[in-house]
Amino acid sequence: MSAPASPRGRPRGGLAGGARPTAAGIGAVALGYVPLGLLLVGGLLAWWGEAYWNYSDGVYLLTARTLDGGLYAEVAAAQPPLLFWLGSAILSVSDSVLAVRAALALVALGTGWLVALCVWRLTAGRTASALAGVAALVTPWRLHESLTLTPESLAAPLLLGAALLAADQRRRRGQLAGLAAATAACFKLAFVVPALALACGAAARRHYATSASLSAAAFAALALALYGGAIVENVLTAQAQTGAREPGAVAALLVQAAWNLAPLLLPAGLAWWLRAWLADLALVRCLGTLLIGELLLVPTVLKQGTSLNLLAVVEPTAVVLAAGGVVALLRAARSPGSAALPRAAAAVVAACAVTVGLQSASLLLSPDDPGLFARPFSALAYQRTLSGEEVDAAVARAQACPPEVAYSGPPYLAFMAGRSMPADQPDQFILARARVHAIKLSAAQADQPRCP
């Protein structure tokens, strides 16, 4: 893929020299981003607290706590074991949701730093890099999901790091990129799609593909050795049996995805249109192919159990390209003989930035009724389920139940209260949907009485 005809005064194929990943440059980016990022992540931790947002978060937390209960063979689990191993490792240090939130806050901080580093590679602008890194922490779905123990929170930095490494022609960087992309897919199999898409843009394509394939094969062999055929039944068969949503529900989710993503994707498109104004065309290619692969995940909301939290993976990549596109547009608009088109595009970009800001602000300021976060006229608000105070009250009620009685409320509250779900099965959704779990479902249904 070649760059467009060079704008006046610019060399064809990107800015001369580019922003090379020297230690001094990386340090300068970190110096600009990290203080702001730490301050913002600390604020997000305080804002989140122990609030309950995501059903899957509770399922995975509770599953990670009970790894010794026979993962897959005895305890149904819908994701590969890497997610549960990581959750269990954190809980072994401190068995509390705040410890998990703190660990994930560090992951979010690292994701923002990767965004900043990518923008610096594209623009050589330290201010733009720092601002993009901070913005990536508070885009709508990152704000909604980044501190939950879900595959999306952990795969986002791996995929972005893979794109950054894959833009380098050196063999070792290509191999590391393949390893990072395969690791993302080991948190959730659906992330094979963006990993494969990235292979189309990787500079050292053969080394990337070989490393990704070998890494995935090694992990699959380890998982099969540890869990046998039970992992296949849980991660593949059960997921295939969850069923599909009604067309109307799928359409509503796709429109919501468009509402949240369009303000980022429109300026992101400028990064390709104006790529001659950017410093690293190889990185533009890698990020572009990665973004396409991530967007291909959106239609998977057709499957029951797949939700829009997958947008938390798309947003960091889109922020990098949007920031690069905005910087390129500003440079093009200042060039001699610039046409009215860049100025018209600047107005669209400004409207997009305001829209994203309002979506995030509505969630941040009113998490129980985030009007602008949800698309106009939507019956779904994607609001916080319970505030920290409401969680405390619900936990107190759960702890008042008789100790020997199974808890039938949300898994997150079971985790917080130290209660067991029916038949010690955290994922009641997958039990009810997947025929392969019929025996486990019968055991859960027979676990009576329950409280509440």
Q: pLDDT digit string (tens) for 297-347?
A: 999 999 999 999 999 999 999 999 999 999 999 888 887 766 666 678 888
What predicted TM-score, i.e. pTM, was given to this entire model? 0.92
Whether the predicted pLDDT of 125 surpasses 70: yes
Average per-residue pLDDT in the chain?
A: 91
**What is the rounded CA–CA span in Å between residue 266 and residue 356?**
12
Whether the predicted pLDDT of 4 surpasses 50: no
At residue 332, the pLDDT reads 86
Whether the predicted pLDDT of 108 surpasses 50: yes
Q: pLDDT digit string (tens) for 426-441?
A: 999 999 999 999 999 9
Q: Which residue has the tokens 């608009």?
A: 333
Q: pLDDT digit string (tens) for 341-399?
A: 667 888 899 999 999 999 999 999 999 989 899 887 777 778 999 999 999 999 999 99
Q: pLDDT digit string (tens) for 237-258?
A: 999 999 999 999 999 999 999 9
Q: What are phi and psi of 52, to 5 degrees?
A: -105, 120
Contact criterion met (CB below 8 Å) for 228 and 195: no
What average pLDDT score do residues 93-100 get? 96
**What is the rounded CA–CA span in Å between residue 161 and residue 182?**
12
Q: Which residues contact 111 (CB under 8 A, 6 or more apart)?
A: 136, 137, 142, 146, 156, 157, 160, 316
Q: pLDDT digit string (tens) for 190-223?
A: 999 999 999 999 999 999 999 999 999 999 999 9
At residue 246, the pLDDT reads 95
CA 50 to the chain's CA centroid: 20
Q: Which residues contact 156 (CB under 8 A, 6 or more apart)?
A: 111, 142, 146, 312, 313, 315, 316
User: Which whole-number Å values give the CA distances from 446 to 209, 398, 443, in the listed order?
Assistant: 48, 20, 5
- Give the bridge partners for 450, in sequence order: 406
- Among 3-17, 281-295, 314-328, 409-423, the minimum mean pLDDT is found in 3-17
The secondary structure element, H or E, covering residue 451 is strand 450-451
The secondary structure element, H or E, covering residue 48 is helix 23-48
At residue 6, the pLDDT reads 45
Closest to 20 measured CA to CA, from 222, 283, 196, 228: 283
At residue 379, the pLDDT reads 74
- Give the bridge partners for 75, in sequence order: 71
C-alpha torsion sign, points 51, 409, 382, 183: positive
Q: Would residue 424 be called left, alpha or beta, if left means φ above 0 and alpha means ψ between -120 and 50 degrees? A: left
**What is the rounded CA–CA span in Å between residue 359 and residue 351?**
12
Q: pLDDT digit string (tens) for 16-64?
A: 334 555 666 677 787 889 999 999 999 999 999 999 999 999 999 999 9
